[in-house]
Structure 1
Amino acid sequence: MKGFLIGLIVGLLLVPIGAVFYFHFGHPPVAVADPSFPMEQQVVHVPLNARIDAEAPKNAPIEPSPVNLQAGALIYRQQCAACHGLYPTASSFGGSMYPDAPQLWSPHGHGVVGVSDDPPGETFWKVDNGIRLTGMPSFRKILNPTQEWQVSLLLANADKPLPSDTLYLLQQPLYAQVTPPSSGSASATPAATTEGAK
């Protein structure tokens, strides 16, 4: 019995000591080009999804009106497009991040465009809180809650027809100085035009 207890104690001590040696002298995957750590995505996604399920707002306090969608498009251009792409152009470096920055105007499976299949509250949570070790910042101190909802509602409607002035803002080159056109009556569906640009 005494030998068993000694062995158990030694074994318990070896685990943290081995971990310290591995992270200090080994080659843990810290570079983007490194292969994934075993179970890395599961370790991250399980608590992330649980946190979002518990905290994400269930209802948006504003409507996806043309005014809010246009405001969301302006915010998206300024804060999101460099990593997440424009309509229908993918980001030049979003795919070289780890994990890849989702291209939010690219269709993927069953007509879904970007995160249009996620509830707006889930996108709002991600915009507001950010996600550690992904490159996704928290915009809580950059945007006010209304602005966060405007961009979240824009992305929730990425698979639906958008007002022409909103679409115009999303189609212009990233670093172009743009102002919305005054008309804004017609609409077009991102999924229809982005299919070939994926």
Structure 2
Amino acid sequence: MKAFLLGLILGLCILPLAVFTYFHAGHPPVAVADKSFVMEKELVSVPLHARIDKEMPKSPPIEANATNLETGAHIYRQQCAACHGLYGRPSSFASHMYPNAPQLWAPHEDGVVGVSDDPPGETYWKVSNGIRLTGMPAYDKVLNPTQMWQVSLLLANADKPLPPGVLDLLKQPLDLDPATLTPASAATGPAQKITDIQMNSMPPAIPAEQK
């Protein structure tokens, strides 16, 4: 019995020491190309989805009408497309991120386009709160709730026919500064200025209850 307790105590002492040594002197997977930990995806996705299911809004406060979808397309181009791609134009660096940034206008192996199979409230939660250690930022201090809903509704309808004006916006290439590859610091050339003017001139969202 004493030998068992001694072995148990030594094991409990050695384990944290081994972990400490591994993280400080070993080769933990911190580079994008490194292999992931055993069950890393499961350990992250289970609590993430549990929290989203608990906190996500159940129904959008606005409709997926042409006005909101087009405004969502403008916002998507400015804030999301660099990582998540455009219609027929995947991001050039998304596959070199860890985890890979999903291309929201491309079909998966099962044929689902982007996150169109997710409830809009789930996408809204992700846009608003971000996801730690993925590169997905929280937009709740960048966009207002209506703008986040407009993007979420746009992505929920990615597998459905969209108004021609929305598709035109989603097919146009981004005018990005190649030195930064981020829409927030894109070069303010003529194409970007036109987008900004269009964004500022868009009519306000139409709440569902006012229809």
1:13-28 equivalences in 2 (<5 Å): 13-28=13-28
Deviation at 1:38, TM superposition (A): 1.2
Runs of 4+ more than 4 Å apart:
none
1:1-198 equivalences in 2 (<5 Å): 1-175=1-175, 176-177=191-192, 178-179=194-195
The aligned counterpart of 2:185 is none
d(CA) in 2 for partners of 1:80, 1:60: 20
Query: Would you say the 8 A contact 1:128–1:148 is kept in 2?
Result: yes
The TM-score, its normalising length taken from structure 1, stands at: 0.87
d(CA) in 2 for partners of 1:111, 1:16: 45
Deviation at 1:110, TM superposition (A): 4.7
1:111-151 CA-to-partner distances (Å, cap 9, x unmatched) read: 42110001001100100111111110100110011111000
Name which structure has the greater RCO, CA cutoff 8 Å, separation 6+: 2
The TM-score, its normalising length taken from structure 2, stands at: 0.82
Paired positions, count: 180
d(CA) in 2 for partners of 1:45, 1:95: 19
d(CA) in 1 for partners of 2:88, 2:120: 21
Letter of the aligned partner of 1:92 in structure 2?
S
The two structures, once aligned, show a CA RMSD in angstroms of 1.2
1:24-72 CA-to-partner distances (Å, cap 9, x unmatched) read: 0000100001111111111111111111111111111111011100110
Deviation at 1:15, TM superposition (A): 1.0
Query: Would you say the 8 A contact 1:129–1:139 is kept in 2?
Result: yes
Identity of aligned residues (%): 69
Gaps of 5+ in 2: 176-190, 199-211
